Amino acid sequence: MNLEEQKVLFYDPSKCSGCLYCMEVCSYKHYGVIDISKAYLMVELNPEGNPLFINNYCSHCQDPYCMAACPVEPKAISKDPATGFVLINPALCIGCRSCNYACPISIPSFDEKLKVSVKCDACKGEFLCAKYCSTGALQVLSRREILERLRS
């Protein structure tokens, strides 16, 4: 799959109701509990007020800073060349938190119980947060589609 066709999340803040269901689905998928503090994405009130809500989530960057910052060899963070997903292997992660600090949007978080960094794995391609977003604020689009929307 070429870079432009890789699927990623697109967030339309004008459609977000702030229900937090995306966060509930994420925490349930990854931890088996509904606990928004365990979600790998974050819906928050916009301090500037318009749009009302903002959503912070992993962009699965083309050149991920989190991966570059990982001191482990082989890297505990890898980028799947086919899907473009940036993934953390918890069996290799040493819990140094370098990725947490390197990410420009502070996406990887440190799981205190597991003692490793964690982040979105796109639910292995299912993107459950978008699948269960009742307002359509979260959508799964190709990188090309997102660029086209942003340009228009």
| pLDDT at residue 148 is higher than 80 | yes
Specify whether the CB–CB gap between 107 and 57 falls below 8 A.
yes
Identical topology for domains 1-57+120-152 and 60-119: yes
The CATH architecture of the domain made up of 1-57+120-152 is 2-Layer Sandwich (3.30)
- Identify the bridge partners of residue 142 per DSSP, sorted by sequence position: 7
Neighbouring CB atoms inside 10 A of 85's CB total 20
Q: How would you classify the pairing of strands 86-88 and 77-79? A: antiparallel
Does the domain made of 60-119 have the CATH classification 3.40.50.10860? no
Q: How many angstroms separate the CA atoms of 50 and 54, rounded?
A: 9
Tens digit of each residue's pLDDT (9 = 90 or more) over 35-47: 999 999 999 999 9
pLDDT at 66: 97
CA 7 to chain centre: 12
Q: Quick check: helix, strand or coil at residue 127? A: coil
Residues 8-17: what's their mean pLDDT?
A: 95
CA–CA gap between residue 136 and residue 111 (Å, rounded): 29
Summarised one tens digit per residue, pLDDT across range 83-108 is 999 999 999 999 999 999 999 999 99
pLDDT bucket at 152, cuts 50 / 70 / 90? confident
> Which has more pLDDT, 150 or 26?
26
Q: Are 71 and 48 a contacting pair, CB within 8 Å?
A: no
CA distance 83 to 15: 27
pTM recorded for the entire structure: 0.91
Domain ranges (residues) in the chain: 1-57+120-152, 60-119
Q: What is the pLDDT of residue 50?
A: 86
**Per-residue pLDDT at 49:** 82
Q: Nearest Cα to 39, choosing from 143, 146, 142, 138?
A: 138
pLDDT tens, residue by residue, 46-93: 998 888 999 999 999 999 999 999 999 999 999 999 999 999 999 999
